Structure 1
Amino acid sequence: MEGMDTKCLLEDLWEKSLILIQYHTLKSESPKNIFVRVSSPIGKPLHHQEQVSEGEFSFTTQEKGTYVACFWIPHGHKDRKASVDLEWRTGVADKDWSAIARREKIDGMKLFAHSLHSVYLIMHEMLWHKH
């Protein structure tokens, strides 16, 4: 990404999905030069960071729809460049449940129940759409 460019990733998600997003700059002419924003389908900001080189956060979706993660270099820095590595993990595809539990401070039983509930929701939606 070059200065004044905005790069966005759109992801269609189900309600009550557990999401983990990790990002970091691979190549950058100056450290901590990207801005990051993640928004819900209704435009509610879920994560916003300025002048960073890396970050990580998790959330549970509140509504079904398209979630957007955008990265950019602030105006006035059109000569700067950055490459961003992004990992967006969703629900049961996310294997790092214990790390998420630490971040959200949920005890072991709630974590297990939440992971089972995520599996149930995905299976339910798959069956519902086949009929």
Structure 2
Amino acid sequence: MLGRGVGVHGVARARLSTSWSMVAAALALAMIGAAQAMTFDMQYQTKCLFQDIENGQAATIEWRAISKGSMEEHMRERANVFSEEDADQIPLNVVVTSPVPRSKPLEQFTGHSEGKVYISADHGEHDGDYKICFTAPDAATASDVKLLVDWRVGALAQDWEVLAKKEHIDHISVELKKYEDLVKEMRQEMLHMKKVDKVGYQTREAAHKRVEFFSFLSMVVCISFTVGQYFFLKRFFKGKKLL
């Protein structure tokens, strides 16, 4: 019996270890996906991106505007061997705004082809969509622009090397601090998801009650019309002396 008990606990531990491994792998994939930069054509004279940032979350935005024409030219000259660092840059006007107020920009750049914006964690008590807008001088220039944007939120937005130098801490402490912030961010995300799920549940319950009410009302109306039609036809046929 003792041997069987140990075997069961061993299986449970193995399953638990496997579950934690799967969670860790999923978290790593999520971190990798979140750290990837976006690359897209501008197409229009003004292009805007939105990012939902909760209060207490920091964010960094790095961007670079390069010429698609110079990219194609470099690829032809170098037999398709090309780095985005070699492309010609195109200056743009860039404006970053918070949810409230939209009229007052957080950051504004004129004639910059690249830049970086840091949004601190104490950016105010306004959750919502932060916006960055890129504006080209004209439509022809915009059609030649390729934007490289890296928008990081939460623990991924922190510059850990600068933090280590500023606070004079070693690499291991920096890594521990990084994982601590990631765990805090995961907890905040779980609480946010729980809140959203609660709101969704309340909405579904309210909709279900409305459906029940209107179903009952429809049934009452149908029964009322049926009874009224019965008495009307009965009186009609009696008047015609058919009954």
Same fold (TM > 0.5): yes
Larger CA deviation: 45-54 vs 23-32: 23-32
2:167 partner amino acid: D
* Alignment CA distance shift 1:58-1:118 (3 Å): farther
1:40 partner amino acid: S
2:53 partner amino acid: L
Contact 1:24 1:84 in 2 (8 A): yes
Unaligned runs of 5+ in 1: none
CA distance in 2, matches of 1:108, 1:37: 34
1:79 partner amino acid: A
CA distance in 2, matches of 1:108, 1:12: 33
1:127 partner amino acid: L
- Identify the residue that residue 85 of structure 1 maps to in structure 2: 148
Query: Does residue 1:35 correspond to 2:93, yes or no?
Result: yes
Normalised by the length of structure 2, the TM-score is: 0.42
* Greater C-alpha Rg: 2
Among the aligned pairs, what percent are the same residue?
27
Alignment root-mean-square deviation, CA: 3.2
Shift of 1:32: 4.4
Unaligned runs of 5+ in 2: 1-41, 70-87, 199-243
Three-state SS of the structure 1 residue aligned to 2:187 is: helix
Higher strand share: 1
Normalised by the length of structure 1, the TM-score is: 0.72
Shift of 1:27: 1.4
1:126 to 190, 193, 198: 190
1:59 partner amino acid: I
Three-state SS of the structure 1 residue aligned to 2:140 is: coil
Contact 2:57 2:153 in 1 (8 A): yes
CA distance in 2, matches of 1:17, 1:78: 35
Query: Does residue 1:14 correspond to 2:74, yes or no?
Result: no
Q: Which has the higher contact order (CA 8 A, sep 6+)?
A: 1
